Amino acid sequence: MPAPVNELKLALQDGHVQFGVWLTMASGRVAEIAGKAGFDWCLIDAEHGPNTLTTIADQLLALAGTEAHAVVRVPVGEDWILKQVLDLGVQTVVVPMVDTAEQAAQVAAAVRYPGKGSRGMGAALARASGYGEIVDYVSSANDQICLFVQIESAQAVANVDAIAAVEGVDGLFVGPADLSADMGFVGQMGAPEVLAAIDHVYARTLAAGKIAGTVLFDPADFENQVTKGVTFLGLGSDSILINRAFRDLVGKAPRS
């Protein structure tokens, strides 16, 4: 029995736009609600969200009962955390703050088994293999991994061609907040210089045959991003959506 097919990766490789949401609240119940809402993917954020391996595992179980594909953003691009997240059964990962081709190559190796990488051989003990039930997991898992590296600095933009050329990197994901800050435009993601840099990343990513991704918080910009070739598109986050919904609701309450 081989590793499960990564349907999200197949859809993205076929050019189908896949919409998702950021999960930052470390809640299995919120993950389940989001997974049943109709998103193609839900990203469990362990960089800025208060997530641990245990809370990630809980949310993976919650999402397993939905149609949404589970994605995890790790806190750092280090082998140990990538290994543990993959052993939980995650097939699509986002790695923040990748500035060079060398960093991208290290991450690409960390998420794949020897032959194509350096992932540790512990799957027989892990959820990824059904705790040993998927006997061909190690020999089939590499092809089902989908790796996004985040472009979040001026250095990464300058190195975008080299990063996109790294074998094993499936997509480049623009982090607009950190990128704008690194470029000297803190809190100004709409600055013309920032938008030009983002468009450049998209163009070079697509030219390399890789997948372009980003996350937004303004519905008015969703269609524009798709027009530019973004197919892995985050539509917001649980915390912001819940905050807006609560404030909207309380604002409608009649007050004397």
Supply the pLDDT for residue 95. 98
Gap between the Cα atoms of 75 and 85, Å rounded: 11
Supply the pLDDT for residue 4. 95
Is residue 252 pLDDT above 90, yes or no?
A: yes
Supply the pLDDT for residue 42. 98
The average confidence (pLDDT) of the chain is 97
Q: Which whole number is the average pLDDT over 69-90? A: 98
Supply the pLDDT for residue 18. 98
Q: Which whole number is the average pLDDT over 158-175? A: 98
Gap between the Cα atoms of 123 and 132, Å rounded: 7
pLDDT tens-digit profile of 17-32? 999 999 999 999 999 9
Clarify whether 16 is annotated catalytic.
Answer: no
**Distance spanning both ends of the chain, measured CA to CA:** 66
Is residue 247 pLDDT above 90, yes or no?
A: yes
* Residue linked to tokens 């996004």: 148
Supply the pLDDT for residue 192. 96
Tokens coding 129: 């293999």
Neighbour tally for 181: CB within 10 Å = 17
Confidence band (pLDDT; 50, 70, 90) for 179?
A: very high
Half-sphere exposure of 235 (CA within 13 A, CB side): 19
* Residue linked to tokens 């089902």: 144
Confidence band (pLDDT; 50, 70, 90) for 1?
A: confident
Confidence band (pLDDT; 50, 70, 90) for 123?
A: confident
Best CA proximity match to 146, nearest among 123, 172, 175: 172
Q: Which helix (H) or strand (E) holds 236?
A: strand 230-237
Q: Which whole number is the average pLDDT over 125-136? A: 95
Please report, rounded to a whole number, the percentage of residues in the chain having pLDDT higher than 90.
97
Gap between the Cα atoms of 87 and 238, Å rounded: 25
Is residue 256 pLDDT above 80, yes or no?
A: no
Confidence band (pLDDT; 50, 70, 90) for 176?
A: very high
Domain 7-251 has CATH 3.10.20.30: no
Q: Which whole number is the average pLDDT over 101-118? A: 97
Annotated active-site residue in 16, 48, 69, 200: 48
Gap between the Cα atoms of 82 and 145, Å rounded: 12
